[in-house]
Structure 1
């Protein structure tokens, strides 16, 4: 900063003063007369007049701004640290930078530099761990159905899900000012033990959905056949022409007792790769129902209320939404093949 700017009475010319100086100069007044009229220094008035006469500029030139606290070489090293490990916190990157450069830098500077690299902080996408064998099973399964299109319209996707009282999906945010973090009014209660809830079973297909079942207690293969397949699942599958029944590899589903029954009633079962909830569109249905129940103005307080709200959300789901999820199967399969059997963004 020039020494003159450190003076206590230093003040930049306002746009009005600059316009007034230019106008008085156009009117024929001398520089000293203008300086006396606007109560400014002669050098200040002269610089303003020269900017107008030589550059056609009546506003103040843009300054160089605050000097950068880091050099280009240091920025390149910071870029290397930020991209080397995407899971490292900003403070950890700042500490590593200081250890290498020996020059302190504020966290605000590190944060601005990292944002200038195009990196932003997000919640990580949660995926299931996959072994090489499981990846290969997923890849083989997808390659065998790579050319399926309308065939997915005949697949019945089924699954169970559990909903608990007081559940929180992690998407809810709160707006607060600094210092209100521990204010109870802006907190969300987190149960430390497993809360009571209900287990449900449902199935979806292109153009229809099954009745929703509430399951009490632990599910076994015998209960699965007697309480789910016989009264609901099999009659629903038989209403769809050339239907294939999809279920995951849970123990009640893959038990010999269950598979023998499905063979007896002549229900074609679609083989399912291990650890593949991202390939099943019904998982998005459970997520949608959970968000609807969580975002109610008055969340359910009893199991009866929870059952009623879940059933209401199931019946209120637009069929177009279900159809859109079914039609996403070719894209899911293609993305899984592109990932070599790895996780997809679904």
Structure 2
């Protein structure tokens, strides 16, 4: 449960004095009813909402130093805790740990997050697509094969850059960053999932173009899977160049394959993105300093095959909730 700030505590007391029930106040602030009940008891006994004096190790930073860390992170959202640690040492001529820096930022309601940047037109397209599909039932989503490519690096599997944000700023433009894929020492793979199963994992050597997408993925793997899925099967792929090339469009039309229109910049709508994250965690647990690229390819295939079907089914069944979340956010990014 999150800690309530002094301002939120005062607001919670005001809500209860206005006659709002404890459970309703707890839901408004995202805390347990017990937290609000204890806050009310403390206010009745002391007339204050601030924390009572407590024993324990004294803080290593003063309120002024805490404000310095908070303002530094707000002025440059992409400063890491190590960067803030160095700035603190330069300003106050003493060292604190990077964990202390993170603790102070968390106390100021700043948490690390990232999301893809999108334009107003892209948000409108996402909103329009989700309004069209949010009424689909599970049987209709069961006809869709979700597919995607992902790249896994050998030595540095995750190149994410995180920013510090306050509550309510998870998807603010000042907290966004574009993520670029790593070059060299990596393996690209393709996979597809549906409500009832998943395809084999295709390891892609080198760069993927439209011809290779047709010859190495669609023809030997994706099309047979769609045929087994049923006569109403639908192929979902994103708007990457190999997917949107004319030869791919004509190839799928000649085969009579129905293709799902897909809004750009929408990783939160594709359930397979969660499987890539799960696969990455499993691979990181097995990669060592002596692991070679050939070993990484084999590990990826083994861990992909080991993903249980119930995980895949649970992700596909979330599509209706994903669409509703985008509609609620008016096309902006969601928590998925």
Q: Is 1:196 matched up with 2:146?
A: no
2:310 aligned residue: 320
Residue number among 215, 239, 254 corresponding to 2:228 in the alignment: 239
Q: Deviations over 1:169-194 (max 9, x none)?
A: 379xxxxxxxxxxxxxxxxxxxxx83
Q: Decide whether aligned partners of structure 1 residues 70 and 202 sit closer, same or farther in structure 2, where only a CA change above 3 A counts.
A: closer
1:270 aligned residue: 260
Question: In 2, distance between residues paired with 1:161 and 1:116?
Answer: 32
Task: Report the CA distance between 1:258 and its aligned residue.
Answer: 0.4
Q: Decide whether aligned partners of structure 1 residues 301 and 142 sit closer, same or farther in structure 2, where only a CA change above 3 A counts.
A: same
Contact 1:156–1:204 (8 Å) recurs in 2: yes
1:142 aligned residue: 130
Task: Report the CA distance between 1:280 and its aligned residue.
Answer: 0.5
Contact 2:155–2:185 (8 Å) recurs in 1: no
- Secondary structure of the residue aligned to 2:214 is helix
Contact 1:165–1:300 (8 Å) recurs in 2: no
- TM-score using structure 2 length: 0.62
2:41 aligned residue: none
1:22 aligned residue: none
Task: Report the CA distance between 1:115 and its aligned residue.
Answer: 5.8
1:334 aligned residue: 324
Question: In 1, distance between residues paired with 2:106 and 2:267?
Answer: 34
Question: In 2, distance between residues paired with 1:88 and 1:316?
Answer: 36
1:154 aligned residue: 143
1:169 aligned residue: 158
Q: Is 1:229 matched up with 2:218?
A: yes
Question: In 1, distance between residues paired with 2:332 and 2:310?
Answer: 29
Question: In 2, distance between residues paired with 1:127 and 1:235?
Answer: 35
Question: In 2, distance between residues paired with 1:277 and 1:315?
Answer: 22
1:283 aligned residue: 273
Q: Deviations over 1:116-146 (max 9, x none)?
A: 9953443x32211111111111110111112
Question: In 1, distance between residues paired with 2:242 and 2:125?
Answer: 21
Question: In 1, distance between residues paired with 2:273 and 2:62?
Answer: 48
Contact 1:208–1:319 (8 Å) recurs in 2: yes
Task: Report the CA distance between 1:86 and its aligned residue.
Answer: 9.4
- Select between 136-145 and 223-232 the one with higher mean Cα deviation: 223-232
Q: How does 1:42-191 map to 2 (within 5 A)?
A: 87=77, 119-122=108-111, 124-150=112-138, 151-169=140-158
Q: Deviations over 1:63-111 (max 9, x none)?
A: 9xx9xx999xx9xx99x9799879498999xx9xxxxxxxx9x999xx9
Contact 1:169–1:291 (8 Å) recurs in 2: no
Contact 2:150–2:188 (8 Å) recurs in 1: yes
Q: Decide whether aligned partners of structure 1 residues 332 and 267 sit closer, same or farther in structure 2, where only a CA change above 3 A counts.
A: same
Question: In 2, distance between residues paired with 1:225 and 1:117?
Answer: 48
Residue number among 269, 279, 300 corresponding to 1:310 in the alignment: 300
Residue number among 254, 258, 267 corresponding to 2:244 in the alignment: 254
Contact 2:142–2:195 (8 Å) recurs in 1: yes
Flag the structure with larger Rg: 1
Question: In 2, distance between residues paired with 1:252 and 1:311?
Answer: 23
Q: Decide whether aligned partners of structure 1 residues 299 and 290 sit closer, same or farther in structure 2, where only a CA change above 3 A counts.
A: farther
* Structure 1 residues without counterparts, runs of 5 or longer: 1-61, 96-103, 172-192
How many correspondences in the alignment? Answer: 245
* Structure 2 residues without counterparts, runs of 5 or longer: 1-52, 161-181
Task: Say what the alpha-carbon RMSD is for the aligned residues.
Answer: 3.8
Contact 1:145–1:333 (8 Å) recurs in 2: yes
1:292 aligned residue: 282
Q: Is 1:216 matched up with 2:211?
A: no
Question: In 1, distance between residues paired with 2:141 and 2:78?
Answer: 42
Contact 1:300–1:306 (8 Å) recurs in 2: no
